[in-house]
Amino acid sequence: MKRLCLLLLLGIATAAVADEGMWTFDNFPKATVQQKYGVDIDDAWLARVQRATTRLEGGCTGSFASPDGLVLTNHHCARSCIGDLSSAQDDFIEKGFNSGSRAGERQCPGELVSVLVGIEDVTAKVNSATAGLADAKANEVRKQTLSRLESECTSANSKGKGGAFFCESVTLYQGGQYFLYRYKRYDDVRLVFAPEQSIAAFGGDPDNFNFPRWCLDFSLMRVYENGKPARTPDYLQWRPEGPSVGDAVFVPGHPGSTSRLLTVEQLKFQRAVSFPAYIARNSELRGRMIEWAKTGDEPRRIVDETLLGLENSLKVYRGLESALLDDRLMEFKATQERDLRARVSGDAKLAQQSGKAWDDIAKAQARYRDIYDRYAYLESGTGFNSKLFAYARLLVRGAAERAKPNEQRLREYADSNLSKVSAGLLAATPVYPEFETLTFAFSLDKMRETLGPDDAIVRRLLSKDSPDSLASRLVKETKLADPAVRKALWEGGAAAVDAAHDPMIELARSIDAEARALRKTYEDEVQALVNAGQEKIAKARFAVLGTNVYPDATFTLRLSYGDVRSWVEKGQQVEPFTKLARLYERTTGADPFRLPQTWLDARSKLDPNMPFNYVTTNDIVGGNSGSPAVDAQGRLVGLLFDGNIHSIAGSYWYDEKLNRAVAVHPGIILAALRQVYGAEALANEIVGKRR
């Protein structure tokens, strides 16, 4: 009892308390799950689900739906691919995409799909490399060590094992543990099927993060190897009936990022500095995009994907800010921190090792406030919101960095990252000059507003130009929209890049020294202190709480558990399942509540009582999009695509009373394939009826 109270006090709830945690597969709380749900999750179950779960490198999860490389994910996870394959004449966002046959499956530019195949704990190696070093030096050596370990691991594993493998380091518990994760990677990913966006994202931004909900947010892709569908024997079988209320469901996936282990000062930094700036800036950008979209059909089509992403992020950031402005949350965090610090102070060894960590992190946050704006605008890209500028920077830095030994490079240019970088750079994704000019001019405008018109770089860029005229000229004159030009420059290295005299490249080069200097200041004076401090706090936490805790999300493989359950919103119980009938009642005929003709036509063929979406208590976050909901037998019973509005605060804490994940029911997917879209063969492939 004493232990439980302590845990409660420290706010790190255990499974007995709530369906909390995005657990690593090697530390899944099997006993808790057995106790709470009467379900035995054994190692075979875990191994099979792990191999059936994919990571979409764009930031999503998927699952194998057949032995032939078929991947189920969300429509919004394939949105970028669908958009890239579309044109004004052939708009698959609007009309959906149905390959019809394997020959009709079309490759997604730059798309990468990975499967985690092994993990290795390298904490001891990293710690021994940094032992005794001052914070800034330790930070540098840590990065070098991780680059080296990744490179060695990739070399050791990529040979003679069939397919492409690569290794990525993973920092868990904010530095409490370091791992190497080994992935099998597929770089030939093809679009198989996608419904119309109007049904996939029915309700649009108003409904986003809300429930009840009616979104057919699924798509199907297929991974290929050597030009043929990949063999994926560890796929998930489906249970078309879905789950019932109270059924245990498990969600494997790659949750992107949570902030549950941040210190109070780090939370206050988000609350007072980064989030308000983000929200104001991007709300304005949202307005600019929406208004531009009204200038024509093609602008509307072009803006759509970026706008959806932006609106989603805005809702998230506003929700996070709101959580941090909730006294209950901040008082909880303050209490949690105060109690852990008291435990640390009360133990001489712990105090010596970790006692100063919180103050060090606070100092780092204060320093970060000083440099935040310039760092964000000049180094992190806030001032140069342009795909073409991003290409230019990749080319300029890529040339400089690749000339260095692997360990000396900026981390994103380490060998282990280069294939991702080049896949993005070389992918034949469309560039829309007018839209590029809009976002680029906007970011220059905000840079002047934020850094001030008398800032040295602002003055240099905008002494004779307005943000509009500068952006417009650069977008017009650069050649980087052409993938062949980018390829030649990437492969040509520094000499080719120098000789190009491309104005966007010249811009990237002209600010590079200043941007790198800001990054160095950030890394040495902010990041180094935070990392060192968090490593110390992690050690203290392990000492006090043991390792039966889960780390913050890091876009790496996790497993959460929960069940299908209603919740109470403003005194009203929200039923956990929605049904088809109400979809038809809610349509207004105008976006985003417009139903596609296929659904209007199919109405009479469909059972109005069919379940559509449902909610579970699983602890999930962005990155879990596309995650399968899996039952105790390892069968797919749903497709996660969202959380309710309370789930946003899940970045900081998990509240089982309110926090819900939102899933598409498998039955509606199969019904749609068969009865709405006539995609019988695909439905059969999924349910295992061989052709």
Pick out residues in 268-307 that bind a second copy (CB under 8 A).
268, 271-272, 276, 279-281, 283-292, 294-295
Given 438, 474, 511, 679, the residue binding a second copy (CB under 8 A): 438
Given 449, 482, 601, 680, the residue binding a second copy (CB under 8 A): 449
What is d(CA 48, CA 336) in angstroms, rounded to the nearest whole number? 37
By CB under 8 A, residue 588 contacts a second copy: yes
Strand partners, 184: 115, 165
C-beta of 201 vs 462, nearer to a second copy: 462
What is d(CA 537, CA 264) in angstroms, rounded to the nearest whole number? 13
By CB under 8 A, residue 226 contacts a second copy: no
Kind of pairing between the strands at 636-643 and 164-172? unpaired
Given 83, 109, 110, 203, the residue binding a second copy (CB under 8 A): 203
Under 8 Å between Cβ of 34 and 44: no
What is d(CA 518, CA 532) in angstroms, rounded to the nearest whole number? 20
C-beta of 23 vs 202, nearer to a second copy: 202
**What DSSP string describes 582-626?**
HHHHH--SSTTSPPPHHHHHHGGGS-TT-EEEEEE-----TT-TT
Given 48, 363, 586, 603, the residue binding a second copy (CB under 8 A): 586
What is d(CA 264, CA 362) in angstroms, rounded to the nearest whole number? 9
C-beta of 49 vs 364, nearer to a second copy: 364
Distances (CA, A) of 215 to 202, 614, 634, 665: 5, 10, 24, 10
C-beta of 280 vs 517, nearer to a second copy: 280
Pick out residues in 321-340 that bind a second copy (CB under 8 A).
321-322, 325-327
C-beta of 22 vs 285, nearer to a second copy: 285
Given 94, 152, 205, 525, the residue binding a second copy (CB under 8 A): 205
Q: Give least dist CB 478 to a second copy, A.
A: 21
C-beta of 469 vs 547, nearer to a second copy: 469
Q: Give least dist CB 622 to a second copy, A.
A: 19
Binding mask 43-62 for a second copy (x = CB under 8 A): --------------------
CA 225 to chain centre: 25
353-357: long-range contacts, CB 8 A cutoff, minimum separation 24: 353/536, 353/539, 353/540, 354/536, 354/537, 354/539, 354/540, 356/533, 356/536, 357/532, 357/533, 357/534, 357/536, 357/537, 357/540
By CB under 8 A, residue 318 contacts a second copy: yes
What is d(CA 14, CA 35) in angstroms, rounded to the nearest whole number? 12
- Nearest Cα residue to 20 out of 663, 676, 658: 658
Q: Give least dist CB 416 to a second copy, A.
A: 39
Binding span for a second copy by CB under 8 A among 522-530, 585-593, 629-637, 666-674: 585-593
C-beta of 322 vs 684, nearer to a second copy: 322
Distances (CA, A) of 435 to 104, 300, 304, 440: 30, 10, 11, 8
- In this structure, the chain runs to a length of 691
Q: Give least dist CB 570 to a second copy, A.
A: 9
C-beta of 453 vs 688, nearer to a second copy: 453
What is d(CA 495, CA 457) in angstroms, rounded to the nearest whole number? 26
Under 8 Å between Cβ of 218 and 642: no
C-beta of 175 vs 576, nearer to a second copy: 576
Q: What is the CA radius of gyration of the chain?
A: 25
- Nearest Cα residue to 173 out of 525, 524, 553, 521: 553
Main-chain phi, psi angles of 435, to 5 degrees: -70, -40
Q: Which residues contact 160 (CB under 8 A, 6 or more apart)?
A: none
Pick out residues in 524-563 that bind a second copy (CB under 8 A).
none
C-beta of 273 vs 426, nearer to a second copy: 273
C-beta of 164 vs 272, nearer to a second copy: 272
By CB under 8 A, residue 462 contacts a second copy: yes
Pick out residues in 486-505 that bind a second copy (CB under 8 A).
none
Under 8 Å between Cβ of 324 and 267: yes
Number of residues counted as binding a second copy (CB under 8 A)? 51
Binding span for a second copy by CB under 8 A among 205-213, 497-505, 511-519, 655-663: 205-213
Main-chain phi, psi angles of 647, to 5 degrees: -65, -20
Given 463, 572, 573, 604, the residue binding a second copy (CB under 8 A): 463
What is d(CA 326, CA 364) in angstroms, rounded to the nearest whole number? 24
Binding span for a second copy by CB under 8 A among 112-120, 458-466, 494-502, 647-655: 458-466
Helix (H, G, I), strand (E, B) or coil at 294: coil
Q: Give least dist CB 593 to a second copy, A.
A: 7
Binding span for a second copy by CB under 8 A among 206-214, 478-486, 519-527, 666-674: 206-214
C-beta of 3 vs 582, nearer to a second copy: 582
Cβ neighbours of 125 (radius 10 Å): 15
Q: Give least dist CB 456 to a second copy, A.
A: 14
C-beta of 289 vs 615, nearer to a second copy: 289
Pick out residues in 617-676 that bind a second copy (CB under 8 A).
none
Under 8 Å between Cβ of 479 and 485: yes
Name the DSSP letter for residue 564: B
Q: Give least dist CB 582 to a second copy, A.
A: 10
Residue type, 536: K
Q: Which residue has tokens 């030649």?
A: 488
Under 8 Å between Cβ of 288 and 467: no
Binding mask 5-34 for a second copy (x = CB under 8 A): ------------------------------
Binding mask 83-122 for a second copy (x = CB under 8 A): ----------------------------------------
Q: Give least dist CB 569 to a second copy, A.
A: 11
C-beta of 287 vs 608, nearer to a second copy: 287
By CB under 8 A, residue 367 contacts a second copy: no
By CB under 8 A, residue 474 contacts a second copy: no
Q: Give least dist CB 270 to a second copy, A.
A: 11
Binding residues for a second copy, per CB under 8 A?
A: 203, 205-207, 210, 268, 271-272, 276, 279-281, 283-292, 294-295, 314, 318, 321-322, 325-327, 438, 442, 448-449, 452-454, 462-466, 468-469, 586, 588-591, 593
